Amino acid sequence: MPGLYIVATPIGNLGDMTERAIATLNGADIIACEDTRVTAVLLRRYGIATPMLAYHDHNADRVRPQLMDRLAAGAVVALVSDAGTPLISDPGYKLVRDCADAGIATIPIPGASALLAALVVAALPTDQVLFAGFLPAKSTARRETLTTMKALQATLVFYESPQRLAESLADLATVFGDRPVSVCRELTKLHEEVRRGSLAELAAAYGAADTPKGEVVVVVGGAAANQTEVDDDAIDAALKSAMASMSVRDAAASVATALGQPRRLVYARALAMAKT
């Protein structure tokens, strides 16, 4: 069937693609990928000869119209990332949005995901989960972002670069207190590692060690069920973030729900912020 197929690929060199994913890539008219060099290795492994087109953050505005023209003409386009499931902290959502607006079919071909792999080995609750992607690179901005999440009872999942891991764990410990955490590195690869402990313990351990290598997923326990007190700074920080993309009313409703605060109180603070 013509349309955009979002195809998960192996996270590491030990992973395998599903038969459906292989058939999809074989049957596509073109494969849109972050890095043609990375995807070429995968295609050679499975004997797939489908042409590739680089599609990433730096060329998306130019290449997306080309892909949309192909899709509108009835082509089958497969979208892959360098590893794992596309659109999970990878480019691509604007292409899916444009397909939805144009009435073009979008079909997921599921497979490997570092997010899900980390969750199932973290030994933390999975009934409520918030995936927050990458935290800001600078400590001040990182702590401000974490403050907006402090009262959430959901298990929190972050992607992090190995170079910033120790600093991020230290900031998490400062903002959240000493909660349980699992640091999952190089999942499904040869040097896979899962370390569990408290935020303070692992912040100290990674701070005293050489910089680790590979892809890192950090899974942090949520706030305790009785942790209902939220200071005004946390509410204001959450409102500032929410109001960047929502109306005052919607932002207030979202923050009130997330932080477990009275909606009328949060809405009043939001109105006051909007007037400044």
pLDDT band at 14 (very low <50, low <70, confident <90, very high): low
pLDDT of residue 44 exceeding 60: yes
What pLDDT score does 91 carry?
A: 64
Centre a 10 Å sphere on the Cβ of residue 205 and count the other Cβ atoms it contains.
14
CA–CA separation, 276 vs 270, rounded Å?
Answer: 10
Strands annotated E in 163-228: 180-185, 193-198, 216-220
pLDDT of residue 231 exceeding 80: no
pLDDT tens digits for range 55-76: 998 999 999 999 999 999 999 9
pTM for the model stands at 0.75
Domain 115-220 carries which CATH code?
3.30.950.10
Q: Say yes or no: do domains 3-112 and 115-220 share a fold.
A: no
CA–CA separation, 155 vs 221, rounded Å?
Answer: 5
CA–CA separation, 161 vs 89, rounded Å?
Answer: 13
| Domain ranges within the chain, ordered by starting residue | 3-112, 115-220, 232-275
Class of domain 3-112: alpha beta
What pLDDT score does 260 carry?
A: 66
